[in-house]
Every structure is written in structure tokens, then in C-alpha cells.
A = this chain, B = another copy of it.
Amino acid sequence: MNRATAIACALLVFARAAVADEGMWTFDNFPAAAVKTQYGVSIDQAWLDRVRGAAVRLSSGCSASLVTAEGLVLTNHHCVRDCAQSLSTPTDDYVQNGFAAERRDDERLCPGMQAEILTAIGDVTPRVNMATTGKSGGDFVKARDAAIAAIEKESCAGREAQFRCQVVTLYQGGVYSLYTYRKYSDVRLVFAPELATAFFGGDPDNFNFPRYDLDFSFVRLYENNRPIASRDHLRWSAEAPKDGEPVFVVGNPGSTQRLLTADQLETVRDLSLPESLILLSELRGRLIRFSEESAEHARIADDVLFGTENTLKLYRGEFKALAEPGFVASKRRADEKLKAAVDADPKLAAAAGDPWAEIAAVQKDRRALYMSETYLESFAGRSSLFGYARALVRAAAERTKPNGERLPEFTDSRLPLLEKRLLDARPVYPELEQLELEFWLSKLRENLTADAPATRVFLGKESPESLAAKLATSKLGDAALRKMLWDGGEAAVKASDDPMVELVLATDATSRAVRKDYEARVEGPTDRALERIARARFAVYGTSVYPDATFTLRISYGKVAGWTDNGVTVAPFTYFRGLWERATGQPPFALAPKWVAAKGVVDDGTVFDLVSDNDIIGGNSGSPLIDAQARVVGAIFDGNIESLGGTFGFDPAVNRAVSVSTAAITEALRKVYGQDALVNELLKR
């Protein structure tokens, strides 16, 4: 059975009985019985509560876990790469050389980073549904977003300083849940290894296994300028799990599209994924050449190049899965099967209508608006300077409106994190900004055409090159200026003579109009139809279904396991000795000096990285890999190349999650990095 067929079969059946080890389950719907049957392990509420209390979501888009009573948090190196770069200078490069705080006082604030721990889940579906009854298109979007804004505000009223309330849309709108988080906005970098060790093999090895990456780091949560006393934390295991041992991943998978209809997937395959691949490939080329121009260019472009290449590889894997012969056709058969079941039940049929046909009809507008929406809205914010300016200009306007009438990202419940991100000081690099701006504007002109009214609004008589050079002189890299504009509101923003603020002021009506149009013609009708499909799915298949990933807390179960593909078997573990065997002396296969010296010093039979068949996706980076005793045995940092199709479906035979073992981390901290204090803190009982 080839991969596409395997995934298709999984898709056909997963709704009734979860396939072995498939699923990113919410904490209020964990399939404990299935785990008991399959692994003989009893997962009770106390176990779930304990790991949930230790599970951390980072606003940088990663997962993490509390591992000591003093607020120490384990996550990936690549989750703090941006932080390490922000703290670096031309002479102190914490990405290349690593970072180690000698004392608590040396732990450094990660700009813009917030940590969140889920404390409660509630159901608010009836209230949201009541607000949207009878509404469609843009009105539906507006009513839904207003209801969400109100719920979030009320639910955290009076405790906003410590809590964040978020309404999460699950099952494509079949369920709306209220997630309440304890939040920590003072997150400090404690330890990060050198890039050459954390990301040994670089982009060529990314998403591959066997793997030899020490992709971990530690941050610490502070409050009132002191480390927090963690209520819950996972116990640290200095031993690697065994082959076949049951393991659990607790974290925040970012986004899957397993419940989309075949027509939506076709648009992804034929339009949005190829366009994104074309776009990011050119950006990658510009960034690579930029990085080669000087050591300083390489330093300042490091994180954005890594992110671009990482996303590219993910998208290529996704495209490959969707373009596999027969894949979309299998999804269409699954759609038809559900529709047939709905049509067979008059009451269900009356409630559902034909949402599949509605979604099919929307694709034409989705294609027609794709370029405008992309280049005026979604892709426009890549430049930090533009992102700052747009947030300042829009926030100034939105904050004058009642909470329920604002764009969702400016509602009261979202403002605190936005403000932190906007006002935390961090370096902005004008040369890199100019590259990003020129690229974005050139793609805007290329894809909307030189003659499009929107292109003229942005460019006037300028070229992308000449305009980008002017905009890169913006002073918004200065946090004090941003604070002045944030505090000063509309009057201050309108009085600004900063070129980037002026650009956003001159163009924002155009961009907002496209967004509104897109909401009315694409987002609204799509979401409205998906809700009805979700309800039909519940009615036909019951509730033993997991929702698509939404960057909210999930738990997946599985076991340590290698895999066999095309007759080749891959073992589940790598060991330290493999690192020296794979090294060539040339980046990204060059060893860091400390590891050249470590040969013969560390135990080279230590389990380094390992794979398990947990169902994960981007956003799970940094998630603890947990054993049945709720001990942390690793940190998820990647999936294998086969797992990239996991966006659309899970193939238990070959999809694998990749972790760095806590055994390797412990050995490295002791023998290579001399971090005895950290090890003692980790092992303290």
C-alpha cells in the first residue's frame, strides 16, 4: 500500500475509531480507554492534570515544559534562536557560540516572548452559535468575532495581568472552547548550545532521521523579577526510553488541514502551496546571497533564513503529499461518503444543506482574491518595520472603537501580548529590512501587475527598489519611538513623519478593503459551511474524533519506534558516536570546537536523538516527550520527511516524531558544557 493510499484509508476510517497512535487530542477528550487497550497503561485524570500543569506554550510559536520547581523550562534550541539573535551583537553571537548564564542574574529577557500555561477549558459553543444564527458572509464573521471578543474580555475581567482568555475554534467551528491560561511575560534565556551542535546537518538534515542534533535550550519564567515557584513540573529522567515503550507528547501542534474538503485541498495544491513555494524560494535565494556578503550579514539574517528554509521544506512535503496520484480523489470519496450519510437522514439533511457545494463555489472567489489578500495582508508583515507601523496605525484606529467592532487582533483580550511584542526592545537591521521590503514590494507589483490600482497606491512613481530604500530609513526600530506612538494614539500616529508610518497611513484603506472583501466572499461562506460539515460529522460519526490542530494544547500517544519504507528499515535511536562519524569539517556538518574536544570524554553510546510514532506537527517543537510515569524523556524537535504530509493525514506506518533525549542533554550539560548547577537543579527531588 503506498503512502497516499494509506493516508486515504486512515482518513476514511479515523472518524469512527482512532487509528493506532493517530490523533492530537484535546485534554477534555483524551482516549484513555484506547491507550489502556493498546499499551496496558492507565492514564488517569491526575496524570493528565499534572502534565497539563507543566505544559508551556511559547508565544514564539513553540511548545515547552516546566522541568524544575524554580521555573526552568525545557524547549528547543530553534525555539530560542530568534531570542539568542536578538540578544547578540556583532561581537557576541549567541547563536553561533551558544549562551550560558553563569548566574541567575545573567539570564536574559527574550524580547516579545510570553509563556502560557493552560488552567481551564470551557465550552462556549452555544453562545457563539446564538450570536451568528441566520448570518452569512461578512456579517457572520463580524458577529462571530464580536461574540468571541466579548467572551474573552468577560472571562478574564479583573485578572488580565496574570491570565489570558482565548476562545479556540475547534472542529472548523463545530466547537468553540474557552481556554484560560496563566501567563508569564518575563521569560529569560538560561542556556542554549552552539548552532553547529543544536542544528548539526543544517537544512540538508532538517526533517531527516537518523539525526544528530542537540536541539534543546532552557528558559526560565520570572515574575516580579524573580523565578517563579512552579506549581507543577515534570520530573527529569536522565535515561532514554526503550524501543517500543509508550510515550506521550504534550504540546501545541500548530495547524493541520485534515478535515478540509477535497475542493479546498485542490486550491491548496493548485494555488496557495505552489505560490508560497515560488515566493519563499526566491526569498531564500536573496537571503542566501545576502548572508554570503559578510559575516555580519550572515549573523543578522540567520533566523529569518532558517525560518524560510524550514517553511519551504515543510511546504514541499505538503505539496508532495497533495500531489500524490489519487490523494485528493480519496479525500473526495470520504466527503461523498459523509454527504451520503447526511442525505440519508432527512433531519440531518435539512440542517446541513449542501455545505460541500457551497465550499466548492467559494473556491472561485478564493482564487480570484488570492494575490490581493496575500500581498496586501498576509504576506505584507514580514518586514519588522512594516509590521510595527501597521500594528501602530491599526491599533490607534481600532482602540477608538468598541471592543466588539474591532479587528480581532486588536480586541481587549489580545492587546496585552500585542503591546509586549510591539514595545519590547529588540534590534532591527536596516539592511535586512530593505531586502525584505524590496522583495515584498517587487512581488506585490509582479503578482498584482504594475497597472493594478493597489500597486499604484503602494508604489506611485517609485520602484520597489527605490521605495524600499526610503522605507528602510524608518526609525521604528527604536522602542521608545514605538512607545510614544502607541501611547499617543491616533493623533501621534497621524502627526508622525516616519516614512513607514506614512506609507501605512496612505495604503491602509486599500489593504483593509481587500481584507473585508475576502472575509465577506471567502472566509465567511467557508467558515459557515465548515461549521455545518462539522456538526454533520459529529452526528454521523459520534464524538470520538480529534479536531484539526490550532496551536492549542493537545496530547498524542504512541511508542518509541523506527519504521520501514521501501524495504529500508530505520532504527529508532541515534547515539553520540554518530555525530563524529557524520562530521565532514564543512558546515553544516562541521563540529563545534567543544565537541571536537568531547570525543572520548562523553559516553558515545548515549542515546542522542530518537523517533516515536506520536502524531505531531509544527508548533509541537519543544514539546516534552513523556513516559507513562509522567517523566520527561526528551524534547520533540522535528518530524521525519514522511511526516510532512501529516498536515493532511497521518500514516502510522511511516510518520515519525523526532526528539532529542534528556539522556543526551544531561550527558552534554555535564561533560561538554560544565553545567553542573543546571544538572543539579534538574535532578533535585
Residues of A within 8 A of B (CB): 201, 203-205, 208, 266, 269-271, 274, 277-279, 281-290, 292-293, 312, 316, 319, 323, 325, 363, 435, 445-446, 449-450, 461-463, 465-466, 584-589
Q: How far is the CA of A585 from the CA of B467 in the complex (A)?
A: 13
> Could you tell me the distance between the alpha carbons of A502 and B287 in the complex, rounded to whole angstroms?
31
* CB atoms of B266 and A325 under 8 A apart: yes
Provide a sorted-by-A list of 10 A–B residue pairs whose CB atoms are within 8 angstroms. A269-B323, A270-B323, A270-B325, A271-B323, A278-B316, A279-B281, A281-B282, A282-B282, A283-B285, A465-B586
Point out which of A269, A286, A588 has the most chain B C-beta atoms below 10 A from its C-beta.
A286
- A319–B269 Cα gap in the complex (Å)? 12
User: Closest residue to A590 on the B side, CB-wise?
Assistant: B463
**Chain B residues in 8 Å Cβ range of A274:** 274, 277, 319, 323
Q: Would you give the shortest CB distance from A325 to chain B, in whole angstroms?
A: 7
Contact B283 A201 (CB under 8 A): no
A interface secondary structure, majority: helix
User: Closest residue to A368 on the B side, CB-wise?
Assistant: B566
Chain B residues with CB under 8 A of A449: 204, 208
Ordered nearest first, which 5 A-B pairs have the shortest CB separation? A285-B285, A281-B281, A289-B289, A270-B323, A463-B586
Q: A323-B274, A325-B266, A446-B203 are in contact. Are A285 and B281 (CB under 8 A)?
A: yes
Question: How many monomers of this protein are in the complex?
Answer: 2
- A287, A289, A584, most chain B CB atoms within 10 A: A289
In the complex formed, the residue of B with least CB distance to A292 is: B465
Neighbouring B residues of A208 by C-beta, 8 Å: 449
Residues of B within 8 A of A461 (CB): 584-586
Q: In the bound complex, do residue B285 and residue A466 qualify as a contact, i.e. CB atoms below 8 Å apart?
A: no
A289 touches B278 (CB 8 A): no
The smallest C-beta distance from A94 to any residue of chain B, in angstroms, reads: 24
Task: State which of B271, B279, B450, B587 has its C-beta within 8 Å of the C-beta of A201.
Answer: B450
A463 / chain B contacts, CB cutoff of 8 Å? 584, 586-589
Cα of A272 to Cα of B605 in the assembled complex, Å: 43
Contact A450 B281 (CB under 8 A): no
How long is the Cα–Cα vector from A290 to B278 in the complex, in angstroms? 19
Q: Are B446 and A204 in contact (CB under 8 A)?
A: yes
Q: How far is the CA of A63 from the CA of B668 in the complex (A)?
A: 66
Within the complex, what minimum Cβ distance (angstroms) separates A268 from chain B? 11
Across-interface contacts of A435 in B (CB, < 8 A): 289
Taken together as a complex, chains A and B put the C-alpha atoms of A57 and B124 apart, in Å, by 72
Which residues of B are found within 8 Å of A279, using beta-carbon distances? Answer: 281
CA distance A414 to B583 in the complex (A): 46
Q: Give the one of A208, A266, A586 with max B CB within 10 A.
A: A586
Q: How far is the CB of A568 from chain B (nearest CB, A)?
A: 11
Which residue from chain B places its CB closest to the CB of A583 in the assembled complex?
A: B461
A278: contacting residue among B204, B270, B281, B585, CB under 8 A? B281
Residue from B319, B325, B450 within 8 A of A204 (CB atoms): B450
Q: Which of B270, B285, B466 contacts A286 (CB 8 A)?
A: B285
Question: Which residue of B is nearest A201, CB measured?
Answer: B450
Q: Which residues of B contact A203 (CB under 8 A)?
A: 446
CA distance A287 to B204 in the complex (A): 22
18 A-B pairs besides A274-B319, A282-B284 with CB distance below 8 A are A204-B450, A205-B450, A208-B449, A269-B323, A271-B323, A274-B277, A277-B278, A278-B316, A279-B281, A282-B288, A285-B285, A285-B289, A289-B290, A461-B584, A463-B584, A463-B589, A465-B587, A466-B586
Q: How far is the CB of A372 from chain B (nearest CB, A)?
A: 15
Chain B residues with CB under 8 A of A266: 325
Residue of B nearest to A286 (CB): B285
Q: Distance (Å) between the CB of A300 and the closest chain B CB?
A: 14
Q: With the chains together, A208 CA to B449 CA distance in Å? A: 9
- A312 contact set on B, CB distance < 8 A: 278
Q: What CA separation (Å) do A254 and B450 show in the bound complex?
A: 29
B284, B293, B445, B465: which contacts A285 (Cβ < 8 A)? B284
Q: Which residues of B contact A278 (CB under 8 A)?
A: 277-278, 281, 312, 316
Q: Which residues of B contact A585 (CB under 8 A)?
A: 461
Residues of B near A277 (CB, < 8 A) are: 274, 277-278, 281
Q: Tell me how far the C-beta of A166 lies from the nearest C-beta in chain B, rounded to whole angstroms.
A: 36
| A445-B586 contact, Cβ under 8 Å, with A281-B282, A286-B285, A286-B286 | no
CA distance A284 to B450 in the complex (A): 19
**Inside 8 A of A290's CB, which chain B residues have their CB?**
289
- Establish whether residues A462 and B285, one from each chain, have CB atoms under 8 Å apart when the complex forms: no
Task: Looking at the assembled complex, report how far the CB atom of A446 sits from the nearest CB atom of chain B, in whole angstroms.
Answer: 6
Closest Cβ of chain B: how far from A295's Cβ, in Å?
14
For residue A293, which residues in chain B have a CB less than 8 angstroms away from its CB?
Answer: 293
Taking the nearest CB of chain B, how far is it from the CB of A291, in angstroms?
Answer: 10
- List, in ascending order, chain B residues with CB within 8 A of A289's CB: 285-286, 289-290, 435
**What is the CB-to-nearest-CB distance from A439 to chain B, in angstroms, rounded to a whole number?**
8
For residue A445, which residues in chain B have a CB less than 8 angstroms away from its CB? 204
Residues of B within 8 A of A282 (CB): 281-282, 284-285, 288
